[in-house]
Amino acid sequence: DAELLLFESFTGGLVAPESDDNLWNYKFTWNPRNVVLAGQGGTAKFIQEGTYKYIPYHKLFRRTEILHVNGSGKFEAYPNRDSLKYREVYGLQNILTLYRGTIRHIGFSRAWNMFVQLGMTDDSYVMEGTENMSYRDFTNSFLAYNPHDSVELKLRSYLKIDQDDIIWEKLLELDIFNPNKKVGLKNATPAQILQKILMDSWTLKKDDKDMIVMQHKFGYTYQGEKRQIESSMVVIGEDQTYTAMAKTVGLPVGIATLKILNGEIKTPGVQLPITKEVYEPILKELEENGIKFKEIKVPYLGYNPNNVNG
């Protein structure tokens, strides 16, 4: 009998390589507000090799995993809220490792952490005078008063960013020190202002293509032997309208709707798509639309090949 030991699920809405023209290797392909507030829904919780792990928001973007996605290179992932609740949903109460994560290009999380440390992602209060505030004023709001040092110098010193660090280039690219650009939002929170600033740089252009990357890892025992399968999917969008995000989110719902109307899915009521009656025909039709997972067998390592106390 087979038993699942490890299930890890990673997804990221990214920008396709041919449209990747900024230092963050990122553009908005989803609700920008959700990106700015990512990780604020509570402490990240997961289990690795039977050991419970917790990451509070202020550390979330410094505790990333490195992923190798078959044929698409190396990415990073940070944990996604409460992975533990999926044990019940998937019937995996005894699983040793369960981890859900969000995929980004390497280096994104370390740079994003600067905004977290400054307080720019906070959505809990309204700032004063935001309508006429410049981007430079906004940045300066989170730094100590010093009549002798520039905003740039104060920020670098506060966050201990070396002048030759790529993070510094990333911050400059977003124009957060511009004294002439105005926020132009009334009664805005820091998170709302940060979103406005990022949308200047990270909005998909008309012909830009987005990219969805997914990777699932399944570790299991079968006939006394530990094995692992990595299942990966990469979908590239067509343009700003017909995005990979729109395809991967919209098509499964559309296909399911048709199958219900045609009587192919008979189970009544609101259902999670975790029964074969639902997911098998949908996955089959998704393949016909170019959304397909590639599976490879890899050695099972888990997180603790030497059985060290983790």
Whole-number pLDDT of residue 156: 97
**In a shared domain, residues 11 and 137:** no
- The answer to whether residue 260 is domain-embedded is yes
In this structure, are 118 and 250 located in the same domain?
no
Would you say residue 309 lies in a domain?
no
pLDDT per residue as tens digits for the range 189-220: 999 999 999 999 999 999 999 999 999 999 99
Give the confidence band of 37 by pLDDT, cuts at 50, 70, 90.
very high
Question: Does residue 153 belong to any structural domain of this protein?
Answer: yes
Contact yes or no for 33/73 (Cβ under 8 A): no
> What band does 221 get if pLDDT is binned at 50, 70 and 90?
very high
Residues 87 and 220 in one domain: yes
For 127, which DSSP code?
P
Residue 127, in any domain of the structure: yes
Q: Strands 65-69, 294-298: parallel, antiparallel or unpaired by DSSP?
A: unpaired
Average per-residue pLDDT for the chain: 94
> How many domains does the chain contain in total?
2
pLDDT value for 306: 62
Query: What CATH number is associated with residue 184?
Result: 1.10.1870
305 belongs to a structural domain:
no
pLDDT in the model for residue 303: 74
> Residue 91 and residue 64: Cα distance in Å, rounded?
27
The answer, yes or no, to whether residue 169 has pLDDT greater than 70, is: yes
Residues 6+ apart with CB under 8 A from 290: 235
pLDDT single digits (tens) 137-167: 999 999 999 999 999 999 999 999 998 999 9
Other C-beta atoms lying within 10 Å of the C-beta of residue 310: 11
- pLDDT for the residue 72: 87
Residue 198's contacts (CB-CB under 8 Å, 6 or more residues apart) are 28, 32, 35, 36, 174
Residue 304: inside a domain? no
Q: What is the pLDDT of residues 252-294, one digit of tens each?
A: 999 999 999 999 999 888 888 888 999 999 999 999 999 999 9
Bridge partners (DSSP) of residue 69 are: 73
Compute the 3-state secondary structure of the chain and give helix, strand, coil in percent, each to the nearest 5.
30, 25, 45
- pTM across the whole model: 0.92
Cα separations in angstroms, 23 against 26, 148, 176: 8, 30, 15
Residue 308 located in a structural domain: no
Beta-sheet strands, E only, within the chain: 3-15, 44-48, 51-55, 65-69, 73-79, 97-105, 210-222, 225-236, 294-298
The pLDDT value given to residue 309: 60
Looking at residue 243, which CATH number applies to its domain? 3.30.360.10
- The whole domain housing 91 covers 3-107+206-298
